[in-house]
Amino acid sequence: MRSLTLAEARERSSLITVTSYAVELDLDQGAEVFGSRTVVRFTCAEPGADSWVDLKARSVETVSLNGESLDPDAVVDGRLTLSGLAADNELVVAATMAYSHDGQGLHRATDPADDLDYVYGHLFLDAAPSVYACFDQPDLKAPYDVTVHAPLDWTVIGNGAATQAGAGTWTLATTKPLATYFMTVCAGPYVSVRDEHDGIPLGVHARASLREPLERHAAELFDVTKRSFDYFHGLFGIRYPFGEYHQVFVPEFNAGAMENPGCVTFRDQYLYRGAATRDELLTRANTVSHEMSHMWFGDIVTMKWWDDLWLNESFAEYMSHRCLVDATDYTDAWVDSSIVRKVWGYGAERSPSTHPVAGVEALDAQSALQNFDGISYAKGAATLRQLIAYVGDDQFIAGVRAYLTDKSYGNGTLADFLGAIETASGKDLEAWSRAWLLTADRDTISVGLEEQGGVIDSAVVRRETPADRPADRPHAFDFAGWTDGRELGRVRATITGPETTLAELEGTPEPAVLVPNASDLTWARVRLSDSTIAALPAQLGQIPDEQARAVVWSSLIDGVHGATASPEAFLDVFDAAWPHETNSSILTRVAAYAEHRVVPYFVPRDRQDAALARLNRAGVGLLERADAGTTESLAAARLVAGTSDDEALLRAWADGKGLPAGLEDDGDFRWIVVRNLASRGLIGVADVDGFRAKDDTLQGGLNALMCRASLPDADAKAWAWEQLTTRQGRSNYEMVHLARGFWVAPDDSLVEDYVPRYFSDVPAMSGWVGEDALSRVVLVAFPRVFTDETARLSAAAIARDDLTPAVHRSLVDADAELREALASRATFGAASGAASGATV
């Protein structure tokens, strides 16, 4: 299907104003298709002109425009031409649509736990026409009236409050004006928990087989929801306007969540079946708050075109963290951001696909999707923190309120937003926005010290700007130093030039560890000094400031990726400091990064077993000391389960014997153990199937696929590759789990023949897999055979001119990680496996 271009969108919006949608969906036609009838009322600024409506149907039964029948076979490339428009128009389209299995459009999934089916709509970015006929662009908003016919035992939830009008028929209350991609319907035998707050009816919903975790987590979900409502009502001065507020945990969801007004959809993995660490609960709370903040920024006011998507995501990213810190018990949310969100964003910034936060004109809808990444989220949020430092918090909030009020139920642009902030603050933002919003890449910040007798003689901050993307960014942040856990000094400064003297540090004791951007207030590459890196194994675990510890870990990860810090140096710090970590986000995320990224990507093959053994020893040590049932105990147990080579221990844990306290009935933990056993060839297909029988659920099936794909034999790899690349109808989640397991192998020889096949077979999947889902498959399935030949094949694939935008972007990003791994191995590969060190 052709993608809507910006020029086409501008032309159509200058001609068409949509006044209403009436959508009737018949979900009682079996498992493959559903009926869709749409009545669109709209005006035309130039009577007699032509336009088109977007429609991606399995078949079109009838079409009429202003009472005149049109040819139902006239849909070409997803568009139905509308000729000779009147000033006021009514279009009626009756069609048969296909359910999807890739997370886009109206997705239908079967829960193997009870063979019950569930449906949900995910219409971002351009999937709305696969559900109903529409003018599919974000600036043609309109109110919706939706009717749904469903099986008698189904419940229906949507943007408007649902009322059962008769047996199997549901009507949804008329909505406020919505962009087409926000319309959604969730239908199936969902189970629910309901509440109310401040006059707003609340509901949380999930599959019937998830009733227990839904009910167990409902109180926490409602608490974060209520606190977020109170916070945003007070901050924005505008009440939530979309009636009821439902949060639906749906199967096989491509993203974390989607901010559909009144009916937010979440991936149902957030309803943790077993034990959950504190940072997992924080992540979920952050997602709840993030999606709610979108009710104002994104839903009440929607970007005019996709190139201002950052207005939605940067704002929600910033506001959710601010809300958690100010209004909930998750006061360490910015620490979590440092070690999770900013690490993700810095990775996007390192890639050749990096782009400015804003101002990248997306010439069509699909190309806009390629900039929906860690820059739009994490960098955008950091940029907003710098904007607040520049104009003042009160002025920023006043500008936000003015923007939301002026553009309510309409659309906004970057210029509109900055204009509101300028008016409220009295500051010209042209130079600031050019440096922070309109220029890609990041500065590097470091501190040079000269000392005499352990006393600082001079301290100079250096700000290095990328030569190929110069910008003059002011940075407001701080520096702090510690020795043996005692903070020796902290300086706050605004840096506006290449070098800035920190006179406040002169005459103070030289710290063992000096951390630029210690409170993580800005967006930059933090370059730690040689002496600081050398001191980290002994010093990092003693630093009481968890935010600064997160910045140090983020800098180390950045250094490993940039080949300025060796993986051995990272592991030395891990050995010494990780077992003493008390912040849950740092503890769990650094362990996961060490196991799943640092070792398999940056440590040469012949040293990976030794590296995993180091991680395992750290996990065992923490597990022995941690209190039962704590985040520390769970994080340690997961690390041991994933890295241990102790067959007796792994088999006992897989069989439910001798488990750490709190994990006795945790099926998700068991799958970590089973995958380790499978990847080592200690169990076979029959054993995996046996564990699958014990966990006959969607998640159990996905984990079984991953474990089968991980088996270290040729037949298992051949089966997994065929299932991934040729079996059409696999869900988005099934494809990703097969891909996650496939490249796990004891040596390259088992899988190296699949490297060239990846570059032909996976891009070809665009013929039957949606762009959003395939972009994830391309990343996860990228070969983990780190050789020059893989790099050559990758470069040749990227140079092709027949790739879809999503496939091309994902290949570029995966190729960048391959080249980072090759550079690190070339730089540090000759060093002894026991050695450590780093350069800056």
Catalogue the active-site residues.
291
Cβ atoms of 203 and 194 within 8 Å: the answer is: yes
Which two three-digit tokens encode residue 738? 């097969």
- Ramachandran quadrant class, 107 (left: phi over 0; alpha: psi -120 to 50; beta: rest): beta
- Cis peptide bond prior to 682, omega within 30° of 0: no
Closest alpha carbon to 779 in 825, 824, 812, 731: 812
Return the C-alpha torsion angle 136, 140, 142, 144, nearest 10.
0
Chain centroid to CA 114? 30
Total number of residues shown for the chain: 840
Q: Which amino acid is at 319?
A: M
Q: ω before 125 within 30° of 0 (cis)?
A: yes
Q: How far apart are CA 728 and CA 725, in angstroms?
A: 8
Question: Please, which residues have CB within 8 angstroms of residue 286's CB and are 6 or more apart in sequence?
Answer: 320, 321, 324, 330, 333, 336
- The closest of 384, 360, 363 to 371, measured between CA atoms, is 360
- Cα–Cα distance for residue pair 809/815, rounded to 1 Å: 10
Sign of CA dihedral 500, 502, 506, 512: negative
Return the structure tokens found at 615: 């991680």
Structure token pair of residue 425 = 């603050």
* Helix (H) / strand (E) containing 266: strand 263-267
159 in helix, strand or coil?
coil
Pairing between β-strand 59-65 and β-strand 162-166 as defined by DSSP bridges: unpaired
Query: Are the beta carbons of 584 and 630 closer than 8 angstroms?
Result: no
What does the DSSP assignment read for 569-615?
HHHHHHHHHGGG---HHHHHHHHHHIIIIIIIIIS-HHHHHHHHHHH
Task: Classify residue 100 by its DSSP letter.
Answer: B
Q: Residue 196 — φ and ψ, nearest 5°?
A: -150, 145
Q: State how far the Cα of 456 lies from the Cα of 449, in Å rounded to an integer.
A: 7
